[in-house]
Amino acid sequence: MPVAVVTGASGFLGRAFGRALAARGYEVRGIDVRPGPKVILADITRPGAWGEVLDG
């Protein structure tokens, strides 16, 4: 299954984009600085944050 990372996943567009990708068969990993359902809390400007997100 392909993996898609959506930044801003708790926002209006991020949620819609994540749902659309999931409907097309992607495993969606959402990133945001605000909590939300199935969202990984991360500050993507911090060194090392991408590795934590992509490693699951």
pLDDT in tens, 27-46: 998 888 776 666 777 777 88
10-36 average pLDDT score:
88
Mean pLDDT of 47-54: 75
Q: Is residue 22 within 8 Å of 45, Cβ to Cβ? A: no
- In the chain, the percentage of residues whose pLDDT exceeds 90 is 30
| Total domains present in the chain | 1
* Token representation of residue 54: 């992509």
Q: Would the pTM count as exceeding 0.85?
A: no
Tokens (6 digits) for 27: 């495993």
Tokens of 37: 């359902």
pLDDT of residue 12: 92
Residue 16's domain comprises 3-54
